[in-house]
Structure 1
Amino acid sequence: MADHERDRAREPEMEPEVTEGLTRRRALQVLAAGAAGAAAFSAGACADGSDSGTPAGDDSTGFAGATSGGNPRAAGTPTDPDMVSPVVWWDLQLTEDELATLAALCDVIIPEDDRSPGAAALGAHDFIDEWVSAPYDGNRNDLVLVRGGLVWLDVESAERFGGRFTDLTLEQKHAICDDICWVENAAPEYRVAARFFDRVRDLASTAFWTTAEGMADLGFVGNRPMPSFAGPPAEVLERLGLA
């Protein structure tokens, strides 16, 4: 992730703090269970052609009912959402502590710069919370993976630097994330944690670059009228045989 070498030395004579009695080994076990479940679900979905996003026959049954939102053409149900007055149809699962760690990780993945805010400032961690809280099998597997990964981050932070991930310096956060930022290059003992990081990076990127600020960061100019557009260049039309 970084362009220069960072200090990876563990601070001496510091006893690692273990979150709620969970050891690094136990955190890895939780992560492994989530990764295995996600892989099994994906294989099953591909085998039977089912869509993991929505349970078969779902038509808002079991949810709280339609909203009284601002779009009269939308029923306000999960399958016909009212995007003017959106609601979350399920209880959010992540705790405040988990969200704080997740927000810190999102800002490592997409930090603030001179073009846009960081991912956390745009609510990437809240998007991930809503995603992993959804009552579908694939999302439940992501909840296990993300929750286990957040525990692993805090345990690893305690072992290396004597504090929670949120308490570390940016350099210390990068030292940990450098070891898990690419699954193919991760050492065997970091391979499962790397799957967690990969999933969070994917979700944080989705959250960030679908905001107005994220689209501006990309230089995306769609979704807006452009009366000055004179049409495609003549050389393009000619190459396509449309001149």
Structure 2
Amino acid sequence: MKKDQIFEFFRRLAETNPSPETELEYGNVYQLLVAVTLSAQATDVGVNKATRALFAKVKTPQDMLDLGEEGLKAHIKTIGLFNSKAKNVIAMAEILVREHGGEVPNDRDALTLLPGVGRKTANVVLNCAFGAETFAVDTHIFRVSNRTGLAKGKTPLAVEKGLEKKVPQPFRVGSHHWMILHGRYVCKARTPECWRCDVVDLCGYKGKIPEKGAKPATPVGGARAAKEKKP
């Protein structure tokens, strides 16, 4: 995707949704950190269902320590990998209280030293809580970036680096959310809904589905073309 196409790509998404936000529910930075940590290999909907009652009780790392690991498990047992996540969240709370005065650090290196916090989680927190121009490459962003030709890469880090170079102002802070929402609701994994996509003409995907119920277009030089060439 060329420079002018990238600008137009985000301009259209911004026009449709001027103030994009994460779909995770939280009341402060610490709750955001916990929610994002719990969201690994889980849906935002599932995390929100579990954290509503949890966050009514837990607003600080000390509150989490007071609740304890077993108390936390009781709240998040509907979330995948809840045992290991509970262990990490409690260990995280201990470090935040002991080393950061109970505050969430505004620093990627410090965040990624916390148990259960990887680069993606740190980027989400920095973006949502502190307004940093970070690109948290989840499965949706990875797919949208590669499928459209916006920023191709074989790994999440490669895509992140590509986005850092290519996403222009004034879209850098919001781009993370626009891509996630676009991938979640329009540019879906199995069947991208190209017929209702606002940026379909800018997209380089060769398997576009022009209308609902239609079969994917055959990529040039794809498997079907190769099969037809055989005697």
The structure richer in helix per residue is 2
TM-score, L = length of structure 1: 0.27
Of structures 1 and 2, the one scoring higher in RCO (CA 8 A, sep 6+) is 1
TM-score, L = length of structure 2: 0.28
